[in-house]
RNA sequence: GAUCCCGUGGUCCAGCGGCAACGACGGCCGGUUUACACCCGGGCAACGAUGGUUCGAGUCCAUCCGGGAUCACCA
């Protein structure tokens, strides 16, 4: 009857088997259901280009723990999965491949073709990363898999954009972008890197003029720059307002000799730093972020762009037009020198920004972009109908701040709400356009040159537009506000209505789009920032803007689990979008987990090459081991360091990763054992077909693997002893003390674990489970059960308790270690399908849908726990004595215990356990017990035990040991007495603390007395 | 530069004002009898520095030192 189990748990077999089983049974599928309460989590969608790394493993394990736990609690649990199109990263990957494989740029294929290729790429990599998440055991509802670019999300994006446009929250503005002149595209900050580069540092001077149009004063003003060519686009010279050297020059002007433009000398405390350079700085708003900011503060100076997209100088550069910017630099320097205005050049090392893709220097470049207004809205009125009340008052940022301030959204740990609030408080407008082809195309059509053509043509066009606006008022918004002020002049000198129109079309109105195009509108070529679609994730995945039953049932979701680096980019924006679109926060809780750092305390990243591939860990230690460790290290405070080793692919030696292996691009390590080279492993291996790649390992995961195996073997022990198992009720009051003890501990543990999970204390929860399983159930209860399993009378009961407790352990551990739990559960179901805990009945057909345990508070029995604890103390102490005097376990020891009558009764009742656990032969106990000659003494507050050791003690050595011990005790006693003689301690400390100290003194005195009497005896013996 | 986080045995960590600081890994000693050498028992070993608050500080406050993260910036 006994089902045979292998001696060791085989994670691989279990993983494959149960993933299939769970999937077939649709345990993780959820539909709205009126009888149950929902519990919803949306996954932070991983990037489709990415491979799973440790951060994903941590993030998704924690979500899975929560969702599995709530599912067991009877909630209708939905974990919505999906992936993110991640505009820049994904397009960059495909473009890079295009360049490598076919030596083409995206301009060589066309927009449609590039997008088609990216979709192909996406399908392939989405499959991979979703497969990896499944391997992790994530219990997502895979039937609901979403993608931020799929039709459902696209519709939500269009609807949101349309509404915001209508409400006047989306506007057109200028912004400096990182311009890659080689690829002629803008690149995101995280697609650039900064490298120290040798550069010149030139100093020039301008002649100062008395004021606009006035003549030269004869004075010169000196300034330095690393980019002399930008001088052509300067619109001011700036000094610090309190800089005495230049105060008198403020308001005067200079003329840039090379372009003959007169520009003012202005004061700006934020831009100019008197301690740097000459203290005077040229201002080039179109080509420097700081200067741009300065021009925002001083709009009168203006902005002049001098660059073409290819990095050559444009018509604003006068005679330098057409020159490459570096050629122009040389020319400018030479010309200034010829004019006698060149003061000198130094060589300097400066940090220069490069494009990661073309490896060429970035140029800051001013361009037209779309923005979302975050700050206060202009006074109500105007064209915006303001259909959505939340945005009406303080603007989007304010609205999202309030959701956290008034507790609708709570952060765990709470301190992270500071990052959220601080960032939103800046109310910086959000630039949402990206010069890419992969993403949601901006749904705005532009008519640039409405005023071109004959008067009749213009009239016809404008008339047609007017018709469209009236006819399609519901789905078409035309914004003219931007250019209202700039009246255009028609070909015949007449004043026209604004010459540029921006039309935004609601989703699902393709016919309107075509009609717009027919009268000369062209769709904006840019796409939206990825976060624009990500921010809609909690409601777009549920079907919004349709009023779906899913949206009504699952929204708002319960908790968002993420890492702290996207609190601003993502969390804050989701709150904004949720409130704006649905009128409700997207989630009630935000749990921010720690980060996993490498062995040297640094964050893991692709560029550092210091990641760990979770699949290697799964391969070597099992998924449950990985998950156990992820949960175990999720404490509230610390990020965790994770030292890692490479497993040499030639000889299987573990080669610890050293810091020098990480320095950017170390791609080769030599095995210290077999001296052969290999490539270090990780989630981001470089392409290098020449070398075999190592797998990764880290002994941090031993504990997890060992625990899975421990569970397995505890189950194995039970199954070997379940012959004749009969289900039946368990009533603690009828059970022997050890049973009542383990049930008491189980009830305590279960309550604690539930509470810990409710507070997102993952690490503490798994600690409790681990401790209970290993140190109480396995180490003590299973050992104590062995006698009764052999005994006809007790066997039935103890089997039921063993099965019941194991059942509960499996339920508790399932959220964290589902595979081993299911393996054991299924085996147990074959032998003991009907169990007695927590309720009598047939066990569920899978542990993943089993009920979360909960036990009567009455089972918690402090008196019983104390009695077993006393026995454990005795056993531990006898073991210690045995160890100290090197007594074989096979040699029974005789023990006498002096203790109260009731304690003696307990000890006698527990004698079989004391005998088997500590190898005790005869046990005498009672108040009158005396110390036999030549015995070791165990002193405990409740008893004193003597272990007979005739002939086994070396009196001389023992005297030394006891003297040392005595000295320590005396010292401690003195310290405690001193504390008690301190009047303020006795006065001010709580009574129980004082009493503790008093009890402690008594205890110490007893111990000292015992040691002294033992010493006396031993000294006597030593003399003989 | 601003904000935040963290410094505890050799390594990785717990600790949320009160009996001589919890574990894991490694190293040490010993054992392994009918679940488990991925086992069992035992022992060794630690609060970054200086001040302060308090009867009492690893824990709270300040300063410093060291590490990290985020944001800004370096003419």
| Cα–Cα nearest to A326, from A191, A199, A183 | A199
Q: Is the pLDDT of residue A387 over 50?
A: no
More confident: A370 or A838: A370
For residue A196, say whether its CB is under 7 Å from any atom of strand B. no
For the beta carbon of residue A171, count every other beta carbon within 10 angstroms: 17
Whether CB of A710 is under 7 Å from strand B: the answer is yes
* Portion of chain A with pLDDT greater than 70, in percent: 93
Q: Give tens-digit pLDDT for A316-373.
A: 888 888 888 888 888 888 888 888 888 888 887 777 788 776 778 888 887 778 888 8
Q: Which class for A951: exposed (0-12), middle (13-18), buried (19 or more C-beta within 10 A)?
A: exposed
Confidence band for A452, pLDDT divided at 50, 70 and 90: low
Distance A781 CA to B31 C1' (A): 21
Q: Which nucleotides of B are covered by protein (CB under 7 A)?
A: 3-7, 11-16, 18-20, 24-26, 29-43, 54-56, 67-75
CA distance A711 to A601: 33
- Closest nucleotide to residue A876 (Cα to C1')? B41
Report CA dihedral (A187, A189, A191, A192) to the nearest 10 degrees. Answer: 100
Averaged pLDDT, A501-507:
88
pLDDT at A687 > cutoff 70: no
How far apart CA A620 and CA A701 sit, in angstroms, is 9
In angstroms, the CA A310 to CA A182 distance is: 7
What pLDDT is attached to residue A488?
A: 42
Kindly state the DSSP code that residue A664 receives in the 8-state scheme.
S
Q: How far apart are CA A312 and CA A326, in angstroms?
A: 9
**Given a cut of 90, is residue A773 above it in pLDDT?**
yes
Task: Specify the pLDDT at position A321.
Answer: 87
Q: Report whether pLDDT(A490) > 60.
A: no
Q: Which nucleotide is nearest to A718 (CA to C1')?
A: B35
Out of A680-694, A799-813, A868-882, A946-960, least confident range: A680-694
Tell me the average pLDDT across A934-947: 89
Q: Which nucleotide is nearest to A278 (CA to C1')?
A: B75
Mean pLDDT in residue range A158-184? 84
- Choice among A102-106, A560-564, A565-569, A665-669 with the minimum mean pLDDT: A665-669
Within residues 778-837 of protein chain A, the ones with CB less than 7 A from nucleic strand B are: 778-779, 782-783, 786, 790
Q: Look at residue A451 and tell me whether its pLDDT is greater than 70.
A: no
pLDDT in tens, A974-1018: 888 888 888 889 989 998 899 988 988 988 898 899 889 888 888
pLDDT for position A485: 34
Q: Which nucleotide is nearest to A719 (CA to C1')?
A: B35
A31-45, A474-488, A654-668, range with the lowest pLDDT: A474-488
With a 7 Å cutoff on the CB, does A989 touch strand B?
yes
A576-609 confidence digits (pLDDT tens)? 999 999 999 999 999 998 888 888 877 787 767 7
The average confidence (pLDDT) of chain A is: 85
Distance CA A286, CA A244 (A): 29
Specify which of A205-219, A363-377, A617-631 reaches the highest per-range mean pLDDT: A617-631
Q: Which two tokens stand for residue A314?
A: 């444009």
Local confidence band at A950 (pLDDT 50, 70, 90 cut-offs): confident
**Residues contacting A470, CB < 8 A, separation 6+:** none
Residues A575-578: contacts with CB within 8 Å, 24+ apart?
A: A575/A400, A575/A403, A575/A404, A575/A409, A576/A396, A576/A397, A576/A399, A576/A400, A576/A535, A577/A160, A577/A535, A577/A536, A577/A539, A578/A538, A578/A539
pLDDT reported for residue A386 = 40
Confidence check: pLDDT of A261 > 60: yes
In this structure, of A19-23, A460-464, A576-580, the range with the lowest mean pLDDT score is: A460-464
Helices A395-405 and A417-425 pack at an angle, to 10 degrees, of: 160
Asked if A307 and A365 count as a contact pair (C-beta separation under 8 A), the reply is yes
Q: Which residues 876-915 on A are within 7 A of strand B at the CB atom?
A: 876, 879-880, 883-884, 886, 888-890
Give strand letter and number of the nucleotide nearest A972 (CA to C1'): B20
pLDDT of residue A758: 93
pLDDT value for A521 = 86
Asked if residue A677 has pLDDT above 60, the reply is yes
Model confidence at A779: pLDDT above 70: yes
Strand B contact at CB of residue A708, distance < 7 A: yes
Does residue A720 approach strand B to less than 7 Å at its CB? yes
Strand B proximal to A343 Cβ, under 7 A: no
Residue A155 pLDDT > 90, yes or no?
yes
Output the CA–CA distances (angstroms, integers) from residue A361 to A6, A332, A941, in the order listed.
62, 20, 76
Q: Is the CB of A723 under 7 A from strand B?
A: no
Whole-number Å distance, CA A857 to C1' B32? 39
Q: How much is the pLDDT for A859?
A: 93
CA neighbor of A822 nearest in space, from A718, A722, A712, A714: A712
Q: Is the peptide bond before A395 cis (omega within 30 degrees of 0)?
A: no
Distance of CA A847 to the CA centre of its chain: 28
| DSSP for A841-887, written as a single string | EEPPSSGGGSPPP---GGG--HHHHHHHHHHHHHHHHHHHHHHHTT-
Which uninterrupted H or E stretch holds A380?
A: none
Host H or E run for residue A319: none
Does ipTM surpass 0.85 in this model? yes
Strand B reaches within 7 A of the A199 CB? no
Give me the mean pLDDT over the A446-451 stretch.
68
CA-CA distance, A428 to A292, in Å (whole number)?
A: 15
Nearest residue to A234 via CA among A288, A171, A190: A288
- Supply A708's token pair: 């899975």
pLDDT reported for residue A661? 60
CA closest to B32 C1', residue: A889
Q: How confident is the model at residue A450 (pLDDT cuts 50, 70, 90)?
A: low
* Within A 653-672, residues with CB less than 7 Å from strand B: none
Nucleotide nearest the Cα atom of A5 (by C1'): B35
Query: Do A206 and A237 contact (CB within 8 A), yes or no?
Result: yes
Q: Is the CB of A716 under 7 A from strand B?
A: yes
pLDDT at A2: 42
Alpha-carbon span A294 to A203, nearest angstrom:
21
Q: In whole angstroms, give the CA distance from residue A231 to residue A257.
A: 10
Question: Per-residue confidence at A747, pLDDT binned at 50, 70, 90?
Answer: very high
Tokens found for residue A362: 């970035």
d(CA A440, CA A150): 10
């Amino acid at each position: 009857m006994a089902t045979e189990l292998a001696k060791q748990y085989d994670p691989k077999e279990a993983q494959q088997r149960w993933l299939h089983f769970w999937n077939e049974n649709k345990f993780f599928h959820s539909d709205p259901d009126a009888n149950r309460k929902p519990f919803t989590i949306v996954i932070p969608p991983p990037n489709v280009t990415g491979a799973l790394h440790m951060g994903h493993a941590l993030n998704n394990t924690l979500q899975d723990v929560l969702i599995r736990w709530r599912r067991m609690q009877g909630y209708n649990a939905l974990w919505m999965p999906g992936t993110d199109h991640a505009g820049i990263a994904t397009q960059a990957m495909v473009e890079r491949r295009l360049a490598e494989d076919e030596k083409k740029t995206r301009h060589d294929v066309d927009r449609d073709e590039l997008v088609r290729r990216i979709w192909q790429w996406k399908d392939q990599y989405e499959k991979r990363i979703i497969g990896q998440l499944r391997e992790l055991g994530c219990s997502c509802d895979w039937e609901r898999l979403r993608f931020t670019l799929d039709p459902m999300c696209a519709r939500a994006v269009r609807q949101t954009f349309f509404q915001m446009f209508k409400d006047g929250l989306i506007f057109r503005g200028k912004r400096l972008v990182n311009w890659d002149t080689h690829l002629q595209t803008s690149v995101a900050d995280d697609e650039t890197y900064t490298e120290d580069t040798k550069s010149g540092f030139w100093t020039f001077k301008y002649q100062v003029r008395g004021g606009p149009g006035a003549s030269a004063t004869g004075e010169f003003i000196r300034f330095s720059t690393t980019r002399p060519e930008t001088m052509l686009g300067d619109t001011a010279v700036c000094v610090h307002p309190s800089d005495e050297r230049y105060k008198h020059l403020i308001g005067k002007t200079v003329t840039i000799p090379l372009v003959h433009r007169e520009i003012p000398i202005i004061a700006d405390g934020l831009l100019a730093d008197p301690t740097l350079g000459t203290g005077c700085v040229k201002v080039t708003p179109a080509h420097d972020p700081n200067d741009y900011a300065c021009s925002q503060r001083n709009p009168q100076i203006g902005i002049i762009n001098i660059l073409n997209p290819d990095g050559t100088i444009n018509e604003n550069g006068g005679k330098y037009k057409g020159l490459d910017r570096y050629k122009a630099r040389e020319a400018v320097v030479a010309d200034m020198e010829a004019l006698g205005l060149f003061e000198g050049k130094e060589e300097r090392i400066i940090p220069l920004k490069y494009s990661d893709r073309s490896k060429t220097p970035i140029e800051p470049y001013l361009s037209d972009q779309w923005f979302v207004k975050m700050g206060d809205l202009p006074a109500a009125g105007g064209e915006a109908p303001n259909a959505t009340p939340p945005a009406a008052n303080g603007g989007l940022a304010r609205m999202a701040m309030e959701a956290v301030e008034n507790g609708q959204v709570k952060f765990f740990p709470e301190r992270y709400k500071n990052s959220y609030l601080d960032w939103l408080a800046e109310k910086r407008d959000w630039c949402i356009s990206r010069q890419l082809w992969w993403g949601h195309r901006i749904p705005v059509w532009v008519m640039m040159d409405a005023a071109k053509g004959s008067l009749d043509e213009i009239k016809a066009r404008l008339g047609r537009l007017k018709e469209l606006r009236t006819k399609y008022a519901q789905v078409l918004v035309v914004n003219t506000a931007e250019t209202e002020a700039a009246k255009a002049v028609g070909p015949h000198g007449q004043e026209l209505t604004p010459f540029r129109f921006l039309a935004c079309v609601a989703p699902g109105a393709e016919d309107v789009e075509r009609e717009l195009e027919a009268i000369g509108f062209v769709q904006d070529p840019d796409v939206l920032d990825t976060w624009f679609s990500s921010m809609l994730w909690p409601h777009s995945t549920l079907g919004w803007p349709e009023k779906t039953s899913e949206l009504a049932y699952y929204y708002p979701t319960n908790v968002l689990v993420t890492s702290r680096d996207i609190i601003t980019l993502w969390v804050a924006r989701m709150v904004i979008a949720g409130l704006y679109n649905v009128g409700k926060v997207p989630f009630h809780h935000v749990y921010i987990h720690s980060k996993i750092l490498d062995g040297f305390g640094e964050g893991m990243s692709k560029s550092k090459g210091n990641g760990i591939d979770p699949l290697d860990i799964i391969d070597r230690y099992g998924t449950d081991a990985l998950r156990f460790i992820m949960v175990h290290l999720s404490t509230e405070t610390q990020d965790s360091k994770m030292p890692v080793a490479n497993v040499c692919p030639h000889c299987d030696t573990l080669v610890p990763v050293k810091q020098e292996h990480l320095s950017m691009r170390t791609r080769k390590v030599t095995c210290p054992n077999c001296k052969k080279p290999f490539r270090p492993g990780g989630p981001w291996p470089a392409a290098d077909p020449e070398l075999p790649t190592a797998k990764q390992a880290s002994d941090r995961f031993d504990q997890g693997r060992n625990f899975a195996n421990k569970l397995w073997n505890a189950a194995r022990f039970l199954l070997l002893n379940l012959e004749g198992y009969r289900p039946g009720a368990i009533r603690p009051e009828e059970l022997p003390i050890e049973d009542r003890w383990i049930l008491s501990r189980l009830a305590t543990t279960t309550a604690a674990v539930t509470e810990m999970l409710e507070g997102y204390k993952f690490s503490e929860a798994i600690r409790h489970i681990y401790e209970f399983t290993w140190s109480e159930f396995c180490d003590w209860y299973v050992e104590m059960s062995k006698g009764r399993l052999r005994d006809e009378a007790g066997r039935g009961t103890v089997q039921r308790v063993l099965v019941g407790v194991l059942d509960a352990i499996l339920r508790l551990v399932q959220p964290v270690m589902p595979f081993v739990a299911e393996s054991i559960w299924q085996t147990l179901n074959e032998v003991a399908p009907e169990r007695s805990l927590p309720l009598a009945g047939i066990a569920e057909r899978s542990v993943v849908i089993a009920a979360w345990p909960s036990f009567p508070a009455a089972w918690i029995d402090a008196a019983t726990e104390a009695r077993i604890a006393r026995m454990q103390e005795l056993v531990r102490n006898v073991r210690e004595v045995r160890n100290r005097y090197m007594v074989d376990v096979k040699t029974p020891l005789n023990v006498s215990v002096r203790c109260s009558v009731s304690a003696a009764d307990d000890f006698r009742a527990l004698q079989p356990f004391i005998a088997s656990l500590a190898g005790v032969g005869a046990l005498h106990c009672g108040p009158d017990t005396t110390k036999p000659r030549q015995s070791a003494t165990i002193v405990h507050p409740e008893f004193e035990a003597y272990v007979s050791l005739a002939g086994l003690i070396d009196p001389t050595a023992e005297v030394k040991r006891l003297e040392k011990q005595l000295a320590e005790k005396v010292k401690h006693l003195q310290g405690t007495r001193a504390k008690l003689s301190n009047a303020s301690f006795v006065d001010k400390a709580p009574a129980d603390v004082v009493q503790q100290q008093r009890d402690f003194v008594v205890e110490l005195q007893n111990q000292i007395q015992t040691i002294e009497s033992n010493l006396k005896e031993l000294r006597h013996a030593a003399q003989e």
